[in-house]
Structure formats: structure tokens, C-alpha cells
């Protein structure tokens, strides 16, 4: 079986667990466990991690220069990348952190060819620093890096929601879950999958996206094994799960 190469996008808030801020060991270890199981299967995993548990540039744009606020956000993603690296290494998984902003004492610089080599050797590559540019998000970094490393798919991890729904499933019992959606469906309906820049980039290059719940144990491995989990976004037409 050919190993799959995927780009997993983790929101920073996942690392905070129930605390809502900072890094909670139990949440970080739970994520590391899922990733380690996927690596053990032989798949190649690259990870882009956000920083919502520390800092979102937009929340500080009113009181700070917006670009400066975004740079703080990018620095915060590197803290998360290093914390996740530690949790993975505690499980014996080989990892490298590559940062889009140079900080050679804690991370390699982002070098595409080196990232590819790490992946081929079975190392998890964690991309920190977002795209390295303000006015972007880590969703866009995920789309960009996925294209650069020629990933088979972007995996948009969600917490305790198992895909994309027509409405908030916690508030509307009639909300339906989509098995498939097209990029344009997501853009036109403003569905909360990833931001529009990131979706557009995936659409332009035909990069498939799967939205799934990473906190359901074994989900990541099942997804990589080919089970129909979550919602798949590609150029194909919409389809809902039969209820
Ligand atoms: N950020 C940025 N450029 C990037 C990626 C991130 O300026 O390419 C900044 C931005 O301020 C953002 C913050 O870093 O709010 C944290 O990233 P994001 O909001 O995507 O994290 P997540 O919501 O996924 O935890």
C-alpha cells in the first residue's frame, strides 16, 4: 500500500483543552497519540498548528498596529509547534519543527526540500510561523504547505464536530451533515471550514480537504485507512449523508 502524505491543520485552541488558554498537557498528549498512531501506520504527516490558544492578531488590531499583532500570532504558533513536538517525542515519534520565521535555536528554517526529505524518512514535520506573512492565517499556511509538499489531502481537524453541517448541529436538530461539498459550496454559503483565502488556494490547485473530528479516538487512522469519515471538499458536487 502506498503511504499517504497528508497535511494536518490543528487549531491552537486544541492544545489548550478545557482551559481555553495556553497548553494543557492532556489535550496535547491526546493529539500526539492520534498523530503517532497515523505515523505507525506508515503514513507521512506534516502538521500546521495555529495559535488561537495564545493570540489572534485580529483581536489586537484595534489597539496595535495590525501587522505587528499578526507577527505576535506567528511567534505564538512556534510555541505550539514546539509543545506538540515535545508530546510526540515523548511517544518516540521523530519530528522536526520548521518555522517560517527564523529562530534557529528552536526550529529549523522552512526549507521545502528538507521538509520533503524528513517526510520520506518518516518524521513528522511541524510547520510553525504560519506563512511568515501578516494578514494571513494558519489555514492558508496549511493550504500553502500542503501544495508545496505535494500532499494528497489537507485534513482540517475539528474538535467534537464530525464534519460540516448545514447549520449548527448543537442548536438545530434538523442540521444535516455533508458527506461531500464542492469548494464553491463552501465559499458561497460561508460555511465554517477554513477561511476563504485558504479554500480558494485549494480550489485553484484541486487540493482535496477533509473536515473531521480529531478528538474521536482512532478517527485520524480510520480516515487515512480510507473510511468515509467527516466531510470531503473537492470539485465534486454536494452530497449529504443519508439519515
Ligand atoms: N498569522 C499570520 N500569518 C500567518 C499565520 C498566522 O499573521 O500566515 C497570525 C494571525 O495573527 C493569526 C495568528 O497568527 O490570528 C494565529 O493563527 P490562527 O488565527 O490561524 O490560529 P488558529 O485559529 O488556527 O489557532
Per-residue pLDDT at 236: 86
Ligand 1 atom closest to Cα of residue 12 = 25
Per-residue pLDDT at 40: 95
Q: Name the pTM for this structure.
A: 0.96
Give residues (CB < 6 A) around ligand 1: 11-13, 50-52, 56-58, 70, 73-74, 77, 130-131, 133-134, 136-141
CA–centroid distance, residue 10 to ligand 1 (Å): 11
CA–centroid distance, residue 75 to ligand 1 (Å): 9
Ligand 1 atom closest to Cα of residue 56 = 15
Per-residue pLDDT at 241: 67
Below-50 pLDDT ranges, the chain: none
CA–centroid distance, residue 54 to ligand 1 (Å): 10
Ligand 1 atom closest to Cα of residue 59 = 15
Q: Which three cell numbers stand for residue 54?
A: 495564545
Ligand 1 atom closest to Cα of residue 53 = 25
CA–centroid distance, residue 242 to ligand 1 (Å): 36
Amino acid at each position: 500500500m502506498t503511504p499517504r502524505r497528508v497535511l494536518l491543520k490543528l487549531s491552537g485552541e486544541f492544545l489548550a483543552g478545557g482551559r481555553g488558554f495556553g497548553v494543557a498537557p492532556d489535550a496535547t498528549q491526546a493529539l500526539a497519540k492520534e498523530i503517532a498512531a497515523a505515523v505507525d501506520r506508515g503514513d507521512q504527516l506534516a502538521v500546521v498548528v495555529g495559535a488561537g490558544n495564545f493570540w489572534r492578531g485580529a483581536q489586537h488590531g484595534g489597539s496595535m498596529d495590525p501587522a505587528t499583532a499578526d507577527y505576535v500570532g506567528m511567534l505564538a504558533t512556534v510555541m505550539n509547534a514546539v509543545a506538540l513536538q515535545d508530546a510526540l517525542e515523548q511517544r518516540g515519534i521523530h519530528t522536526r519543527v520548521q518555522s517560517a520565521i527564523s529562530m534557529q535555536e528552536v526550529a529549523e528554517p522552512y526549507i521545502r526540500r528538507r521538509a520533503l526529505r524528513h517526510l520520506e524518512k518518516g518524521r513528522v514535520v511541524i510547520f510553525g510561523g504560519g506563512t511568515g506573512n501578516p494578514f494571513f492565517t494558519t489555514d492558508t499556511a496549511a493550504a500553502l504547505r500542503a501544495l508545496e509538499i505535494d500532499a494528497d489531502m489537507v485534513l482540517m481537524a475539528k474538535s467534537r464536530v464530525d464534519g460540516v453541517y448545514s447549520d449548527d448541529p448543537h442548536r438545530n436538530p434538523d442540521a444535516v451533515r455533508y458527506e461531500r461539498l464542492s469548494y464553491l459550496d463552501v465559499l458561497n454559503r460561508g460555511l465554517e471550514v477554513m477561511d476563504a483565502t485558504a479554500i480558494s488556494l485549494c480550489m485553484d490547485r484541486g487540493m482535496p480537504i477533509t473536515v473531521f473530528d480529531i478528538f474521536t479516538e482512532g478517527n485520524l487512522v480510520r480516515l487515512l485507512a480510507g473510511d468515509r469519515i467527516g466531510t470531503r471538499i473537492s470539485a465534486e458536487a454536494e452530497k449529504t449523508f443519508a439519515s
